[in-house]
Amino acid sequence: MKIKVAKFGGTSMADAQAITRSADIVKADKERRYVVVSAPGKRFSQDIKVTDLLYECFHKLEMDGNFDSSFEKIRERFMTIAEELRPDLDMEECLDEVKQGMYKYGSTEYFASRGEYLSGRIMAAHLGFAFVDAAEVIVFTAGGEFDAAATRAKLKKKLSSVKYAVIPGFYGADESGLIHTFSRGGSDITGALIAEAVGAELYENWTDVNGFLTADPRIVEHPAGIKELSYRELRELAYMGANVLHPESIFPVRAGGIPINIRNTFEPDNKGTMIVPEITDARKNNTITGIAGKKGYSIIYIEKSMMNSEIGFARKVLSVLEYYNIGFEHMPSGIDTLSIVVADSEIAGRQEILLDKIQKTVNPDHVEIKDGISLIATVGHGMSFKPGTAAKLCGALATAGVNIRMIDQGSSEMNIIVGVATQDYEKAVRAIYKAFE
């Protein structure tokens, strides 16, 4: 029998009605043998996610040594779900066990993981599937680093003897049993790891949107949907803010050439977005695939005559960033100029010492930090087959009255990234979309 792995996000697990809908999707296809679940998300706009309630419990423990009152919100949430679903499960006993563990282990990662754990218990009981605790099969080192090889081995061994199972996302454990978590949204990674380990035909990621859109619908009115993305396009768009899927989830499935299908739990007939190893020939006719961007950047602008002939100049500048543990996004350069794009959060409160250190290290003619920058990535394999793409993009921005503060085109010609003043961000996105729609 072919195998599909289905991961359901927080909105798909938010309440009993959503869980029933998700379970019906699983039951509709016998190939959906392994199910990965997130913690319950928001039921309505002003609601609080269960994971955030768990973080609240942890902060209460740190401040007061007691989180009983905060935990009651979590108990009420899960008991309401259990009372409506009536799974073959003692929910009160599960909640008591979790609460005791939170007091016993007391780590923020343990607290944060319990939403997925409880979701998994409920979904497994509701479906009649086996429950496989992620702590048994997702392996981290004692230092909290993910161990891919050990995880693969444990998953293969465990799931080879379990035909249908529910596994909580987001967390795992080290050899001592201490819980560790992926970054927020890491249930996507868990699903990808399971898909790779069992040799799945397809990894389905069920969420609350119909896949990826060509632009942010909060900026562009009714942007077109993207039917197909390559792994590489996904990485570019996800990194630049198209947060439908965790960007790190691509690595496990890429190794096995497993496609990912982004689907909408609330519109299951919509085919969503298919993420594939390589684009089809027909896709090459599409110049761009999508537009994504982020606000909150600054440019470290360095000017020095004959910079290009000074061996090691860029390395010395980057060594300053390394010294202060600052990552950078892009580094376009000219003959006598070097621009380094960094997130505002990376340099907050350290601008002056950073400038002083660069001045002492490379003795530039001029160095300054220009803030208020936003980055916009225009992504698509078809760009490399269509001459004049960059000219068309720049022309669209010029027509809209947007000044380009920085431009960087990847060597693969699959993306063009421009930096614009943050006040021009939305106008720039709309101009690029209109030029290529």
Which of 87-101, 159-173, 322-336, 409-423 comes out lowest in average pLDDT? 409-423
Which of 55-64, 268-277, 378-387 comes out lowest in average pLDDT? 378-387
pLDDT tens sequence across 60-91: 999 999 999 999 999 999 999 999 999 999 99
Of the pLDDT bands very low, low, confident and very high (cuts 50, 70, 90), residue 231 is: confident
> Given this model, what pLDDT does residue 36 score?
98
Q: What percent of the chain has pLDDT over 90?
A: 78
Token digits of residue 125: 């009981």
DSSP string, 187-214: HHHHHHHHHHHHT-SEEEEEESSSS-BS
CATH fold of 4-278, please? Carbamate kinase (3.40.1160)
Q: What percent of the chain has pLDDT over 70?
A: 97
Whole-angstrom Cα Rg for the chain: 24
Per-residue pLDDT at 235 exceeds 70: yes
DSSP string, 263-292: EETTSTTS--EEEESS--GGGGG-S--EEE
Per-residue pLDDT at 420 exceeds 90: yes
Q: Region 108-125: what's the mean pLDDT?
A: 98
Per-residue pLDDT at 355 exceeds 90: yes
Per-residue pLDDT at 285 exceeds 80: no
User: What does each C-alpha distance from 46 to 18, 42, 119 come to in angstroms?
Assistant: 17, 8, 21
Q: Is the separation of the CB atoms in 416 and 407 below 8 Å? A: yes
Q: Region 28-55: what's the mean pLDDT?
A: 97
> Given this model, what pLDDT does residue 243 score?
75
pLDDT tens sequence across 148-167: 999 999 999 999 999 999 99
Per-residue pLDDT at 411 exceeds 70: no
Q: What is the H or E stretch that residue 111 is in?
A: helix 108-127
> Given this model, what pLDDT does residue 289 score?
87
User: What does each C-alpha distance from 362 to 66, 186, 193, 335, 355 come to in angstroms?
Assistant: 53, 40, 45, 15, 11
**In this structure, what DSSP letter does residue 65 have?**
S
What's the whole-model pTM score?
0.86
Degrees (nearest 5) of the Cα angle 68, 72, 78? 140
Q: How far apart are CA 42 and CA 9, in angstroms?
A: 11
> Given this model, what pLDDT does residue 382 score?
72
Token digits of residue 52: 């955030």
> Given this model, what pLDDT does residue 154 score?
97
User: What does each C-alpha distance from 185 to 171, 291, 375 come to in angstroms?
Assistant: 10, 22, 23
Q: Region 110-120: what's the mean pLDDT?
A: 98
Compute φ and ψ for 36, nearest 5 degrees: -115, 135
> Given this model, what pLDDT does residue 284 score?
60
Q: Region 309-313: what's the mean pLDDT?
A: 92
> Given this model, what pLDDT does residue 76 score?
97
Of the pLDDT bands very low, low, confident and very high (cuts 50, 70, 90), residue 427 is: very high
Q: How far apart are CA 331 and CA 232, in angstroms?
A: 21
Per-residue pLDDT at 44 exceeds 90: yes
Per-residue pLDDT at 203 exceeds 70: yes
Of 175 and 285, more confident: 175
> Given this model, what pLDDT does residue 42 score?
96
> Given this model, what pLDDT does residue 17 score?
97
Which of 183-187, 278-282, 343-347 comes out lowest in average pLDDT? 278-282
Q: Please, what sign has the CA dihedral across residues 318, 319, 322, 323?
A: negative
Of the pLDDT bands very low, low, confident and very high (cuts 50, 70, 90), residue 236 is: confident
Neighbours of 119 (CB within 10 A): 29
Q: Region 267-286: what's the mean pLDDT?
A: 81
Per-residue pLDDT at 258 exceeds 70: yes
Of the pLDDT bands very low, low, confident and very high (cuts 50, 70, 90), residue 412 is: low
Fold match between domain 4-278 and domain 290-436: no
| CATH C-level class of 290-436 | alpha beta
Of the pLDDT bands very low, low, confident and very high (cuts 50, 70, 90), residue 250 is: confident
The mean of the pLDDT values for the chain is 93
Query: Residue ranges of the domains in the chain?
Result: 4-278, 290-436
Q: How far apart are CA 285 and CA 268, in angstroms?
A: 29
> Given this model, what pLDDT does residue 337 score?
93
